[in-house]
Amino acid sequence: MRTAALRATFVLLAAVGCSSDSPPDPVLVEGIRVTPQSVQLSAIGETRQLTAAISPVNATDQAITWESADSAVASVDADGLVTARAAGTGVFVTAITHDGHHESSANVSVIP
């Protein structure tokens, strides 16, 4: 009887020791794409929404930041909304993944 109880205890402890409480492995970002990739704004104050798609779609870290190469001509907010500020061409508005390893840009021109 004592041997059976010891065996049952060992089996129970082995089963508990095999469970995994660790979180699943993160799905790493493989790329990002901004659309549209070319934007022409024809009036100061005009806006255009850019979108950024991270791949794969189930990547764990979906955070991005937006930057404008010349915010005096075309500014961009945290959600990718571009605003024409002054006449100019060839302004790259870029979305950058949180890990900093991937980026994609739209070429923005303001021609009022």
**Among candidate residues 57, 52, 50, 35, the one with its CA nearest the CA of residue 97:** 52
DSSP category for residue 38: E
Q: Which residue has the tokens 């409480």?
A: 21
The residues that bridge with 48 in the sheet, in sequence order, are 82
Q: Which residue has the tokens 């790329």?
A: 31
Residues 6+ apart with CB under 8 A from 35: 50, 51, 53, 106
pLDDT in tens, the chain (112 residues): 444 444 443 444 444 444 567 889 999 999 999 999 999 999 999 999 999 999 999 999 999 999 999 999 999 999 999 999 999 999 999 999 999 999 999 999 999 9
**Which pTM does this prediction carry?**
0.79
